[in-house]
Structures are given as structure tokens and as C-alpha cells.
Structure 1
Amino acid sequence: MTDQHADRNDDRTFALLRELLTTYGPVGREDAVRDVCARELRDLVDESWTDPAGNLVGLVRGKGEPGAPGVRVMAHMDELSMIVKRVEDGGTLRVGELGVMNPGNFGLGPVAVLGDAEELTAVLALGSEHTSKETQQVWQTKPDGGDRAIDWNHVSIFTGRTPEELAAAGVHPGTRVCVHRSRREPVRFGQHVGGYFLDDRAAVVALLEAARRLRERGERPPADVHLVFTASEEIGGVGASYASRTLPGEVTLALEVGPAEPEYGTVVDSGPIVVYADAGAVYDTGIADHLLRLGQRLDLAPVPAAFTAFESDASQSKLKGQSPQAALLCLPTLSTHGYEVVHRDAVGDLAELLTEYLVHPRP
């Protein structure tokens, strides 16, 4: 590939990543993200549809080689978000988490309240630092008052609306609240990209890029491949478990961000992480070994890892008995579940390894 072609591919990939990062997709309300994925996927697969669990599925028909494994590749559409617990008398919202994080992962600032009738801008607030013990939710977080980490009981959503106005906008317990679009623009710096919700929008882009490369190669996989853009991963792999149970195939392979930390021997570079185990399941060694060798053959500098505080669509599906075999590929990511950072080449390298695996799923 010439440098000019590489630049064009990088620009296309970043533009799609930016669009996905700035699109709201809280757990259970992934519709807008799914629409973007469906638009991109339509011309890259033989069929596509949305299943009853809210997953977007694309089918790439295989050659029907005897003994070749059917593969389900998954990347999740949902993002870490908040859910309204109650609307208080003054129009303030009390919220809880959807996914594993605390308010510090998001930071105080503007949020979008996705009412049934209207999208509202509001602010995730703690309260003034210039307060005493009387303002307990602030006092408890001060070094001289308890030095506690900010948790959901400390914060609230200031809407500037009355309860009646919120009701008219369709805001009620169960309404989703997301980091505001004004804070979701990705930034490119040096060889890296930073932004909220690279988990799992960067992997979604890698899956779409792999579908594009597979189509451009003009080579069919040996067996059918289902590309699955899953719903509700952040609360236990709900969509993935349904897809693994209802779609044919032997292998569920998830694409994820993966922690770049010394304890796992991983750093924020472009080489894909091949995961052998996480907190949910032990992945199939034969598949992981094969992925590692393919990555080495392609000079992608893949890194093996075993995660102890991590789960994926694939490990959830295997844990629940929905998939006989499972595998996991990750983009090395700094500050997972926070303001995340990946290497600018990580998406393309992950797509390259995945494409090669889909064409050659057996050693």
C-alpha cells in the first residue's frame, strides 16, 4: 500500500471513528449507533439484519469447506452511561451507573439527558468546594473530611428544569444520561488517539474495516462468518449471549479494548493483544495460539496476555454455555473505562489480523 493510500485509509477510519464516538449509544438504547454501523455494513456482507436482542448481524457466506468452523465475530455498540433513579422536587436527577465505572471516569460537566420527547443538556455536579460539613456529599470527598472517592451518592444531575418540564420532555426513572456530545470529540496527538468510548467504538471500526478488507480481497472464508454488533455488553454480554445461542457456528471471537498495563505486559502500541484468559473464561488455547502465529507472520507484533479483571462478549458467551469455543482480540488501550487512548495504527492492525484469521481459521 502506498503512503497516499495509507493516508486515505487512515482519514476514512478516523472519520468513521469520530462519527461513532460522537453518537449516543447507552445500554439498551443503541439505535443511533446501530444505524451508523448498518449503513457502513450494508455493502460489505451478503445479508444483514437486526435480531430481537437489538444486535446488528451481517452474514458473509463461506465456501462450505468440510470441517471448517463457523465464526461469530463480535464488537459491542453500547457505551458506559447513567440511568435516572429518581427526579427530585427541584428538578435535580439522581442517577446510577450502567456499566462498571464511577463519576470520576466521566468527570463533572455537561451531559445529555435522553428524554422520550426531548434531548436535554444538563450538568453532572458534585457541589461547591467552598462548603463545610453541612454539605456532606462534598465534605466526604475532601482530604480533611473523609478523602473518599467520588461515588454516585455524591453527585447529581442539575437540569435547570422543573419536574413538570422534565415530565413533558419524557424524563423519568429509567431515562438514559450520557456524556455530552461537546466532550466526545476524539483528539489525535503524535501516534495516538484519545477519547471517551473507544470502548468499544474503536473495535466496531476494526470489525467494519475487516469486513471491507475481506470484500476487497474477493476471497470467501471457508465457512459462514457472522459479524455481530452487539447490544448491552456493559451489563453482562446480553446481546452476545443471545447471538451465540441463536446463530450457527462454533467460535465466538470478541473484539475489545484491552488494558495497557505493566501487570499484563501490555503497552499502548499498535500490536493486537491475543488474550488467553480473563475473569469470565479461559479462551481456547488452540485458537489463541493460531491468532498469535498469524499476527507474527504478518509482522503485527501481537502480544499474549491473561487478564484477571476483564470480561468480554466471548467469555460471557462461553461462561453461559452459549458458545463451545471462544477467543478475544484487543486493541491495547490506556485508561480503559475512562478517557481512553489507543495507537493510531491499532485499529488497522487489528482489522488486518482478523481478516487473515477469517480467511484461514485453521492452523
Structure 2
Amino acid sequence: MPTYQTTHPALTLFSQLLVAAPSGREEGIAAIVQARLDALGVAHTRDGAGNLLVRLAGRASDGPLTCYAAHLDEIGMVITRIEANGDLRVDRSGGLYPWKLGEGPVEIIGDGEPLIGVLSFGSTHGGSLGEKAIGWGDCRVMTGLTPAQLKAAGVRPGSTAVPVCAMRGPVLFGQADDPLVAAWTFDDRMGVVALLRLLETVQREKLTPQNPTLIAFTVHEEGGGQGAQLVAAREQPEIFVAIDGCPIPAGAPLAVDGRPGIWSKDRLCHYDQPLLRALMAAAVRAGTELQPVVYDGAASDASLVRANGSAARIACFGHVRENSHGYEVARLSVFDGMLAALVEFVINE
């Protein structure tokens, strides 16, 4: 078996962030990010919604306020009903489909300590499922507890669930000198990782951004971008850049290699084309290249912010990922490409 670089900085940080973080329950991952910022000596604040904010002065003090954002939350399940036998009926939280998960252990996030359950689709021996597509109506989470015990543990309608940490990866495979990496899910922990690595670089190399800069670790993107919209409405950045992945729908001109992707249009709007060109030029100067893509069935924190009129210019770029909103796959080298392009743009544009 090939020997892989399991100590890559992006993977190390990613693994530290592998705690349950469904929309509305980002406090665990936020605490880890806060501790990392404290260790770096980076001042930060947290607003009432749970967004973490870092403010950096710019060399051009009168330049446009530029916000770089990555969301803390992840897709998951929300409990809709507790059955008489203690099984939980669930629906999606964010863009999750049950066939992406498969049956297996999940962590139930209620008002008390987390519990373990097993996502179940029922029996295939004489059952009605056969080869049909699984929908949320076919799903239940088995808990082995009574409704009274679940209530005492703080589990109720509105509680959430995500795959257990042990099922998440990351897993390296392919060529040892340029491996692929897979995990449940990179969205958007790897955006958070990129911003943390950016701040590490700024601190280590004593760099100052070109423009006044706001780094935002936002909540509730998977439920409609509420955290980013709150930040942008309050702070009024001229430029808002979401650091998030680039999925590969059928026919998209994207390759899973060391080049990040950049959104040119999505279902809400066109992105700022001069800003897109400036980011692409910064990537070239940094020794990589951004792959432009158009989406008709996706939106980002950036386009949601633009749609409500809270930022004049927007962009979204990040790693290219296969199996989006599932066991995602990317090229390990793309995370260094993301960082290089981001540092070059923040410091010199």
C-alpha cells in the first residue's frame, strides 16, 4: 500500500474540526475555531447569531472593506417526530439526501449530551423498498430508548443528527505523490481550514492585507445563508468572497486536480466579473489556476448576500469536489492551491 502524507496541514486542521455542526448547532466547531484563533493571538468577536469575526487593518485604510467568509455548519438531519417505540422520524437539514448517507450510526444532537442511533431504511427481505430510490419517508433513526428516556435526554422534534465522527474520514487514496482525499464532508470545513491557514500565514510572516479585511466564520449557510446575510447587512462590505467548494454536476468543465474552482454564475446571479478576473490573475501569480464554472442549481453565501443587496461585488472560490453533499473527494494538492491564491489576493489586491 502506498505511503501517504497524513500530516498535511489542511488535513490536520480538518480532523480537528470533525465535530457535529448541523445548522443551528455550530457551537462545538465554533469553540474549536475560537481556541485556534486564541492560540494564534488573533483577536476575534462573536455576534449574537454565533458568527465569529476577525478584523484586519489594511495598508490602504480607505480601500473597500472586503469580507472573506466560510460557513461553520454542515448538512444533516432534523428530527420531526418520535415514535412510540423510540424510533425517530427525520427529514433533511440542508441539501442532504438519505441515499448519500446509507444506513449507519449517527450522532443525535439534542438539549443534553449527544446520543448514538442508527439510521435505518428497513429490511430488504420481503420488504417494499427493493431498488426504488430512498426518500426521507423511508427513514428512521433507531435509538433503543423509550420516548420518556429520549425526552429526559433532551431529544425532541427539532433536534438534529449527523454521521458519527468515526465514519467521516479523511481517507487518502490513489497516487502517493499526488493523492486524492475523501471525507464526509469537506463542505465547508475546508473553507474554514483555508481561512485559518490564511490567518496563520498573516501572523507568521507579519503580513498586512491590502484593504481593510473582515474574516467571517458564519453559521447556518446550509439553511439559506442566514449567518452571512446578517454579517453583510451589519458590516456592509463592498466585496464579499465566499470560500467554499465547487461541486461537479453533470457536464461541468471542472477537473479534480490541484486547481481550485471559481463560481462565475449560479441560480441567483452573475458574480462580479472584474473581481473574478482579479482572483484568477492572483492565482496565476501564486503558481496555480482557477477553473471557472456556471451553476443553475446552486447558491453560495456570496450570492445570497448579493441577492439581498448587502454587498456590491461578490466572488466564491475553493476546492473542486466530487460527490458533493456526500463522501466528497478532492485532490489533496488543491488545498495548497486555495491557500496560495487566497494569500496572494488578500495581500496584493
- TM-score band by shorter chain is over 0.9
Give the 3 Å change call, closer, same or farther, for CA 117–274 of structure 1 in structure 2.
Answer: closer
What is residue 277 of structure 1 aligned with on the other side?
265
Q: Distance in 1 between matches of 2:32 and 2:336?
A: 19
Deviations 1:331-357 (A, max 9, x none): 100111011011111112111111111
Q: Distance in 2 between matches of 1:131 and 1:116?
A: 38
Deviations 1:159-197 (A, max 9, x none): 010111111111111111111122123111131110102
1:201 maps to which of 189, 197, 210: 189
SS in 1 for 2:126: coil
Q: Cα offset for 1:63?
A: 2.4
Q: Cα offset for 1:297?
A: 2.3
Q: Distance in 2 between matches of 1:189 and 1:170?
A: 40
- Which residue identity does 2:209 align to in structure 1? P
Q: Write out aligned runs for 1:185-334 (5 A).
A: 185-190=169-174, 191-261=179-249, 263-334=251-322
Q: Distance in 2 between matches of 1:13 and 1:296?
A: 21
What is residue 94 of structure 1 aligned with on the other side?
89
Is contact 2:248–2:320 with CA below 8 Å preserved after alignment? yes
Q: Cα offset for 1:41?
A: 2.2
Q: Cα offset for 1:89?
A: 0.7
Q: Distance in 1 between matches of 2:12 and 2:43?
A: 25
**After the TM superposition, which of the residue ranges 230-239 and 183-192 deviates more from structure 2?**
183-192
What is the RMSD of the two structures over their aligned residues, measured on CA atoms? Answer: 1.6
The unaligned stretches of length 5 or more in structure 2 are none
Q: Write out aligned runs for 1:26-41 (5 A).
A: 26-41=22-37
Is contact 2:236–2:310 with CA below 8 Å preserved after alignment? no
Is contact 2:238–2:312 with CA below 8 Å preserved after alignment? yes
What is residue 116 of structure 1 aligned with on the other side?
111
What is residue 155 of structure 2 aligned with on the other side?
171
Q: Distance in 2 between matches of 1:43 and 1:252?
A: 26
What is residue 349 of structure 1 aligned with on the other side?
337
Q: Cα offset for 1:74?
A: 0.5
Q: Cα offset for 1:64?
A: 3.6
Give the 3 Å change call, closer, same or farther, for CA 45–278 of structure 1 in structure 2.
Answer: farther
Matched, 1:151 2:151: no
What is the aligned length?
Answer: 341
Please report the TM-score for the alignment, with normalisation by the length of structure 1.
Answer: 0.90
Is contact 1:45–1:60 with CA below 8 Å preserved after alignment? no
What is residue 102 of structure 2 aligned with on the other side?
107
Is contact 2:245–2:261 with CA below 8 Å preserved after alignment? no
SS in 1 for 2:200: helix
Q: Considering fraction of residues, name the structure with more helix.
A: 1
Q: Cα offset for 1:95?
A: 0.8
- Which residue identity does 2:123 align to in structure 1? S
Q: Cα offset for 1:129?
A: 0.4
Deviations 1:125-145 (A, max 9, x none): 01110124xxxxxx1x324xx
Please report the TM-score for the alignment, with normalisation by the length of structure 2.
Answer: 0.93
What is residue 21 of structure 2 aligned with on the other side?
25
Is contact 2:246–2:262 with CA below 8 Å preserved after alignment? no
**After the TM superposition, which of the residue ranges 250-259 and 114-123 deviates more from structure 2?**
114-123
Q: Distance in 2 between matches of 1:242 and 1:60?
A: 19
Q: Distance in 1 between matches of 2:10 and 2:318?
A: 17
- Which residue identity does 1:99 align to in structure 2? G
Q: Cα offset for 1:102?
A: 1.2
What is residue 10 of structure 2 aligned with on the other side?
13
- Which residue identity does 1:267 align to in structure 2? A
Give the 3 Å change call, closer, same or farther, for CA 353–344 of structure 1 in structure 2.
Answer: same
SS in 2 for 1:47: coil
- Which residue identity does 2:76 align to in structure 1? S
Q: Cα offset for 1:46?
A: 5.0
Is contact 1:63–1:221 with CA below 8 Å preserved after alignment? yes
Is contact 1:26–1:78 with CA below 8 Å preserved after alignment? yes
2:346 maps to which of 319, 333, 358: 358
